[in-house]
Structure 1
Amino acid sequence: MYDYDFFVIGAGSGGVRSSRMAATYGAKVGLCEDYRVGGTCVIRGCVPKKLYVYASEYSSAFKDAEGFGWSAERPKLDWQKLVSNKEDEITRLEGLYGKNLDNHDVEIIKARGKLLDAHTVELTDENGSRTVTADKILIATGAWPSFPDIPGIEHAISSNEAFDLPELPKRITVVGGGYIAVEFAGIFNGLGVETSLLYRGEEILRGFDLEVRSKLRDEMVKKGVDVRINTNVTEIKKDGDQYILKLTDGNEMATDLVMYATGRQANTKNIGLEELGVKMKPNGEIIVDEYYRSNVDNIFAVGDVIGGMQLTPIAIKEGAALAATQFNDTPTTVNYDHIPTAIFSQPPIGTVGLSEEDAREKYGDDLKVFRSEYKSMKFTLAGRDERSLIKMLVDGKTDKVVGAHMIGPDSAEIIQGIAVAIKCGATKAQFDDTVAVHPSSAEEFVLMK
Structure 2
Amino acid sequence: MDRAVILGGGPGGYEAALVAAQLGAEVTVVDSDGLGGSAVLTDCVPSKTLIATAEVMSDLSGAAELGVSFADQGGGAATEIRVDLERVNARVKQLAADQSRDIHRRLVRDGVRIVSGRGRLDGPGRVIASLTDGGEETIEGDAVLVATGAAPRTLPSAQPDGERILTWEQVYDLTEVPTELIVVGSGVTGAEFASAYLNLGIPVTLVSSRDRVLPGEDADAATVLEDVLRRRGMTVLSKSRMESVERDGDVVTVTLTDGRKVQGSHCILALGSVPNTQGIGLEEAGVLLKDGGFVYVDRVSRTSARGVYAAGDCTGVLMLASVAAMQGRIAMAHFLGDAVHPLNLKAVSSNVFTAPEIATVGISQQAIENGEMDAESIMLPLSGNPRAKMQGVHDGFVKLFCRVGTGIVVGGVVVGPRASELIHPVAIAVKESLTADQLAGSFTVYPSMSGSVAEAARRLHRRG
Do these two structures clear the TM 0.5 threshold for a shared fold by scoring above it? yes
User: Aligned equivalents of 1:330 and 1:64: distance in 2?
Assistant: 50
Q: Deviations over 1:287-328 (max 9, x none)?
A: 123332222212211111111111111111111111111124
Q: Go from structure 1 to structure 2 and tell me whether the alpha carbon gap of 1:79 and 1:291 turns closer, same or farther (over 3 Å shift).
A: same
Using the TM superposition, give the Cα deviation of residue 60 of structure 1 relative to its aligned residue in structure 2, in angstroms.
Answer: 2.0
**Residue 32 of structure 1 corresponds to which residue in structure 2?**
30
Is 1:132 the counterpart of 2:132? The answer is no
Name the % identity: 26
Structure 2 gaps of 5+ residues are 72-77, 460-464
Q: Go from structure 1 to structure 2 and tell me whether the alpha carbon gap of 1:70 and 1:153 turns closer, same or farther (over 3 Å shift).
A: closer
Worse-matched range after superposition: 28-37 or 220-229: 220-229
Q: Deviations over 1:199-250 (max 9, x none)?
A: 1112222232111111111111112221121111112232331012211233
Is 1:146 the counterpart of 2:177? The answer is no
Using the TM superposition, give the Cα deviation of residue 363 of structure 1 relative to its aligned residue in structure 2, in angstroms.
Answer: 6.3
User: Aligned equivalents of 2:113 and 2:422: distance in 1?
Assistant: 39
Using the TM superposition, give the Cα deviation of residue 139 of structure 1 relative to its aligned residue in structure 2, in angstroms.
Answer: 0.7
**Residue 257 of structure 1 corresponds to which residue in structure 2?**
266
Q: Go from structure 1 to structure 2 and tell me whether the alpha carbon gap of 1:374 and 1:28 turns closer, same or farther (over 3 Å shift).
A: closer
Using the TM superposition, give the Cα deviation of residue 128 of structure 1 relative to its aligned residue in structure 2, in angstroms.
Answer: 2.6
Using the TM superposition, give the Cα deviation of residue 256 of structure 1 relative to its aligned residue in structure 2, in angstroms.
Answer: 1.3
Is 1:287 the counterpart of 2:296? The answer is yes
**Residue 76 of structure 1 corresponds to which residue in structure 2?**
82
Q: In the alignment, is the contact (CA less than 8 A) between 1:245 and 1:252 conserved in 2?
A: yes
User: Aligned equivalents of 1:262 and 1:300: distance in 2?
Assistant: 28
Paired AA for residue 84 in structure 2: D
Paired AA for residue 60 in structure 1: S
Which residue of 165, 178, 203 corresponds with 2:187?
A: 178
SS in 1 for 2:142: strand
User: Aligned equivalents of 1:42 and 1:84: distance in 2?
Assistant: 15
Using the TM superposition, give the Cα deviation of residue 54 of structure 1 relative to its aligned residue in structure 2, in angstroms.
Answer: 0.9
Paired AA for residue 403 in structure 2: D
Worse-matched range after superposition: 19-28 or 68-77: 68-77
Is 1:47 the counterpart of 2:55? The answer is no
User: Aligned equivalents of 1:56 and 1:83: distance in 2?
Assistant: 12
User: Aligned equivalents of 2:354 and 2:12: distance in 1?
Assistant: 25
Q: In the alignment, is the contact (CA less than 8 A) between 1:68 and 1:382 conserved in 2?
A: no
Worse-matched range after superposition: 234-243 or 98-107: 234-243
**Residue 221 of structure 2 corresponds to which residue in structure 1?**
212
Which residue of 12, 15, 32 corresponds with 2:13?
A: 15
Q: Deviations over 1:116-166 (max 9, x none)?
A: 233332222232323222222111001111123436666732110012223
Q: Go from structure 1 to structure 2 and tell me whether the alpha carbon gap of 1:389 and 1:275 turns closer, same or farther (over 3 Å shift).
A: same
**Residue 189 of structure 1 corresponds to which residue in structure 2?**
198
Size of the aligned set, in residue pairs, is 445
Root-mean-square deviation (Å): 2.2
Q: Deviations over 1:256-304 (max 9, x none)?
A: 1111112112111111213333210121111123332222212211111
SS in 1 for 2:54: helix
Paired AA for residue 169 in structure 1: P
Paired AA for residue 95 in structure 2: E
Q: Go from structure 1 to structure 2 and tell me whether the alpha carbon gap of 1:152 and 1:286 turns closer, same or farther (over 3 Å shift).
A: closer
Q: In the alignment, is the contact (CA less than 8 A) between 1:367 and 1:393 conserved in 2?
A: yes
Is 1:406 the counterpart of 2:414? The answer is yes
TM-score (norm 1): 0.93
SS in 1 for 2:178: coil
Is 1:304 the counterpart of 2:335? The answer is no
Which residue of 253, 256, 272 corresponds with 1:247?
A: 256
Paired AA for residue 112 in structure 1: R
User: Aligned equivalents of 2:261 and 2:388: distance in 1?
Assistant: 37
Paired AA for residue 404 in structure 2: G
**Residue 358 of structure 2 corresponds to which residue in structure 1?**
349
SS in 1 for 2:34: coil
Using the TM superposition, give the Cα deviation of residue 182 of structure 1 relative to its aligned residue in structure 2, in angstroms.
Answer: 0.6
Q: In the alignment, is the contact (CA less than 8 A) between 1:122 and 1:131 conserved in 2?
A: yes
**Residue 391 of structure 1 corresponds to which residue in structure 2?**
399
User: Aligned equivalents of 2:167 and 2:357: distance in 1?
Assistant: 22
Using the TM superposition, give the Cα deviation of residue 105 of structure 1 relative to its aligned residue in structure 2, in angstroms.
Answer: 0.6
